[in-house]
Amino acid sequence: MIKYFKVWWLMTSQSIQLFFVSRLGAVLFLSGKVMRFIFFFAFLLLLFKRTDVLAGYNFYEVVLFYFTFNLIDSTTQMLFREVYRFRYYIVSGNFDMILVKPVNALFRSLFGWTDILDFITLGPFIALIIYVLLKIPHITFAGVFSYILLVFNSLLIATSFHILVISLAVITTEIDHAIMIYRDVIGMGKIPIDIYTEPVRSLITFVIPVGIMMSFPVKALLGLLSFSTVFSTFFASLILLFLSINFWKYALRKYTSASS
């Protein structure tokens, strides 16, 4: 564990150095992320000028869904930015070099690049979440504890999805469309999934677990989930992680080296 933390820190240090090399581009990229966040938040403000509740949730509760989505999404982008560059390693043959190095290839493929820009946004998101929590009455310690656990569970699900994406890239050399489809589908979790009608709601909860990732943490915080549901969520996430890792192993067996 310590070995891999040192490796991750070394790769993260390199990404931070590159951030200072291209500061203008980094600032523009960060500005774009902030503007996108502000525009959707403004949309929610305009929406609640017309209504008091949305799918049974008041303004602060809906905002909490949105802030939680951004926290989870920014964390996954920060950790797994290397996935967006993975196709280059496959088509160029550089993946061969990753396979022969004394570091787990899956670890290197997932955590090879840490996005410092997304890391910068995490602090404000956490502060906004705490502020909104203070505005919502009847929040319990058990609810907060369940919320934190389910946020980590969401990161576990996101890890599984990214493993599946790079596994597909190993087999098909295609990753751009898969990761963009993932981002578009995950974007449905910006607001409570209760707003969607059936069968879409069930589809993005049980088939594509957007609801589990983005909505369940807030629902647990508000006391809307039973203990059995929370437990089942963790169980399903572990199964998904197990399947994704095995699919990665299968993809490696199908991989054809660039030198062969």
The structural domain count of the chain equals 1
Does residue 260 lie in a domain region?
Answer: no
Per-residue pLDDT at 166 = 93
Rounded (5°) CA angle 78-82-84: 100
Per-residue pLDDT at 160 = 94
Q: In terms of C-beta distances under 8 Å and separation of at least 24 residues, what long-range contacts does 159-162 make, across chains too?
A: 159/76, 159/80, 159/110, 159/241, 159/244, 160/237, 160/240, 160/241, 160/243, 160/244, 161/244, 162/76, 162/80, 162/83, 162/110
Does residue 124 lie in a domain region?
Answer: yes
Per-residue pLDDT at 33 = 85
Does residue 52 lie in a domain region?
Answer: yes
Residue 165 structural domain: 2-254
One digit per residue, the tens of pLDDT, for the chain of length 260 reads: 788 888 888 888 877 777 777 777 777 778 888 899 999 999 999 988 888 888 889 999 999 999 999 999 999 999 998 888 888 888 888 888 888 888 899 999 999 888 888 888 899 999 999 999 999 988 889 999 999 999 999 999 999 999 999 999 898 877 777 788 888 888 888 989 888 888 888 888 888 888 889 999 999 999 898 888 888 999 999 999 999 999 999 999 988 876 55
Tokens 């995950």 — which residue?
186
Q: Based on C-alpha coordinates, what's the Rg of the chain?
A: 20
Does residue 111 lie in a domain region?
Answer: yes
Alpha-carbon span 96 to 193, nearest angstrom: 42
Does residue 236 lie in a domain region?
Answer: yes
Per-residue pLDDT at 256 = 81
Does residue 239 lie in a domain region?
Answer: yes
Look at residue 259 and give its three-state secondary structure: coil
Are the C-beta atoms of 53 and 27 separated by less than 8 Å?
Answer: no
Stated pTM of the model: 0.90
Per-residue pLDDT at 27 = 78
Does residue 80 lie in a domain region?
Answer: yes
Does residue 259 lie in a domain region?
Answer: no
Per-residue pLDDT at 258 = 62
